[in-house]
Chain A
Amino acid sequence: MDSRPLLRLTDVGRDFDVSRPWLNRMLEGAPRQLLRAVDMVSFDVARGETLALVGESGCGKSTVARLIVGLYALTRGRIEFDGVDLAAAGAGASALRRRMQMIFQDPYASLNPRWRVRDIVAEPIRVLGLAKSGDEERVRIAALLAQVGLAPEDGEKYPHEFSGGQRQRISIARALSGHPEFLVCDEPTSALDVSVQAQILNLMSELQERLGLTYLFISHNLAVVAHVADRVGVMYLGCIVELANAVTLFKAPRHPYTRLLLDAIPDLGMSGAPRTPVGGEVPNPLAPPAGCAFHPRCPHANQRCRNERPAWRAGVACHAVEEGRL
């Protein structure tokens, strides 16, 4: 097995222009405004592993997913897939991108309502020219549907005839039909019922084992992440604050934000016991706080945290951890 990482992000950043329209800027003298959705994000994803990114809404985890598959262009940094820089690959980038696919959060929006399921699943096959004849394509689609637990006859139906969980299965079948190695899963279960979530997660780990897939798993649900992830990255306001083995992270969280998140997981043993609420709100990303972005909510913040941005040291970015105060 190749020991090089399949995917490597180096200091990746993405800004969004959220300025008022040109005429308003001219008349009101308002400056251009950039929203720093993702900043200085670096991580590797090894072949065959599942890396999860967790964080509150608006922390930039979905943006990272979309940067990787090319739905957004990079503002800063580089993304390497299989050792090749995607930005420098030029025409080769699309060939590399064909080896990744994405599963979306909302199964009600991610399937074209006017297409039959067989056409939805066949789209990558047709674009990549993987089937030489209509018969071969039909056989492939039947196999793909069977692989995700659907019947071949389901291919004749339209998406609205399926439940949320079944639709997510169709999404997975579509993602797999182009034979990708790497799947970006953007909250694939958060729109589903709890009972269905487990089925989809089990299906995904089964497929990973059988097809040797690599997953980047985006979620805000720590219970789900604990179930699927090998390694976990915690994001806050566009940056990764801690990255560790899933077992280590859940047992011995280091960053104060990770601790707060873990404390907030509801569990039966703690019912009725007092818990520390995650104080405050996520700050406005248009005007992020100086120093460490988490300091306004952090119980361990000191003067240094308010002034100086913490550097990335051994899997965590926090002054308190670095100074041994925590």
Chain B
Amino acid sequence: MPAVAGWARRAWDHDLAWSFRHSPVALLAAFLTLVCIGGAVLAPWVAPQNPYDSATLSLSDGFTPPAWTEKGTRKYLLGTDDQGRDVLSTILYGARISLGVGLASVLFSALLGVSLGLVSGYLGGRLDAFIMRVADIQLSFPAILIALLIDGTARIALPREAHDALALYVLVVAIGLSKWVDYARTVRGSTLVEKGKDYVQAARVIGRRPLAIMVHHVLPNAMGPVLVIATINIATAIITEATLSFLGVGVPPTQPSLGTLIRVGNDFLISGEWWISLFPGAALVLLVLAVNLLGDWLRDALNPRLR
């Protein structure tokens, strides 16, 4: 397939690919992110144990410290929690939830924010003023407060069983809704710039409808910064999810995320079982750091002034 080969060659020669190959930080961050994603996605196959299958657990193994300490065993590399679950396995399974919620909420907020920003910037007028005032109001509340508010409301409004089943979705919406303003403002700004350019005027003279111009002409030219914000926001969303879960309003304990693991382990911190909360915490830091570094690199690589 010469077409595919040509495409691959162009992608390899692209500025972004060149900058990626020559940035050690980006390579390291991408490697770490891939390890985290790989571990999370493949958790059922790579984890030593399924920590949520009670048949594989033995309570007598509870509170085993990590393998390199005096009382540790090779069977549980990072030790076990009070129920005898392997901490490494819970981290892999927890990262699955954390990453899933992070990605889904970023996707949701990007979709919402980009559409609103595009419409707001292109159509202008009262609609624009209204959307941007809503954004201003939203920005005056901290993101975590908005997420707490939505999650809390859902908790009261929905019956208990329904809430447990929908908890993940509620969390995605809660985190997503607290972040759409970033996208809306950025996209509105670049839409205003693109709207004034002659190629948009040309499309209007040709007789294209506003929606077609927005989607086909303006959007592709306004998406660059969105990619950067989305990458950095994945890290923020994971942290927000962890915070909510740590506070006990996030995912239900039957599907623990990294944040839930840290909270559960927190109870044993004082009694000396430090590994139960420390290792999930370290995994969270690693994941967020890697994604953030990747986002930082992307921002610099796409900024023509820093080239």
- A-to-B contact residues, CB < 8 Å: 66, 69-71, 94, 97-98, 100-102, 104-106, 109-114, 123-124, 127-128, 171, 174, 178
Q: Is the CB of A71 within 8 A of B201?
A: yes
Q: Other than the known A112-B217, A124-B206, what 19 A-B pairs have Cβ atoms closer than 8 Å?
A: A66-B201, A71-B201, A94-B207, A97-B205, A97-B207, A101-B205, A102-B202, A102-B205, A104-B198, A105-B198, A110-B198, A112-B199, A112-B203, A113-B199, A113-B221, A123-B203, A127-B206, A127-B208, A174-B206
The CA of A123 and the CA of B217, in the complex, are separated in Å by: 11
- Shortest CB-to-CB span from B35 to chain A, Å, is 34
For residues 184 through 214 of chain B, which have their beta carbon under 8 Å from a beta carbon of chain A?
Answer: 197-199, 201-208
Q: Is the CB of A109 within 8 A of B197?
A: yes
- Shortest CB-to-CB span from B215 to chain A, Å, is 12
Q: How many residues of B contact A (CB 8 A)?
A: 14
- Shortest CB-to-CB span from B103 to chain A, Å, is 26
- Shortest CB-to-CB span from A259 to chain B, Å, is 33
Is B2 in contact with chain A by the CB < 8 A criterion? no
Is B304 in contact with chain A by the CB < 8 A criterion? no
11 interchain pairs, CB-CB under 8 A: A69-B205, A70-B204, A102-B201, A102-B205, A110-B197, A110-B199, A111-B199, A114-B221, A124-B207, A171-B202, A174-B206
The CA of A114 and the CA of B204, in the complex, are separated in Å by: 17
Q: Is the CB of B208 within 8 A of A104?
A: no
Q: Is the CB of A178 within 8 A of B206?
A: yes
Is B220 in contact with chain A by the CB < 8 A criterion? yes
Point out the residues of chain A lying under 8 angstroms from B208, CB to CB: 123, 127
The CA of A284 and the CA of B241, in the complex, are separated in Å by: 57
Point out the residues of chain A lying under 8 angstroms from B221, CB to CB: 112-114
Chain B CB within 10 A, most for which of A113, A114, A128, A178: A114
- Shortest CB-to-CB span from A299 to chain B, Å, is 38
The CA of A114 and the CA of B199, in the complex, are separated in Å by: 11
The CA of A109 and the CA of B208, in the complex, are separated in Å by: 18
Q: Is the CB of B198 within 8 A of A71?
A: no
Point out the residues of chain B lying under 8 angstroms from A114, CB to CB: 220-221
Annotate B71-84 by CB proximity to A: 1 below 8 A, 0 otherwise.
00000000000000
The CA of A109 and the CA of B195, in the complex, are separated in Å by: 11
Say which residue of A69, A100, A106, A178 sits within 8 Å of B198 (CB atoms). A106
Q: Is the CB of B198 within 8 A of A123?
A: no
Point out the residues of chain A lying under 8 angstroms from B220, CB to CB: 112, 114
- Closest residue to B221 on the A side, CB-wise? A114
- Shortest CB-to-CB span from B130 to chain A, Å, is 14
- Shortest CB-to-CB span from A271 to chain B, Å, is 37
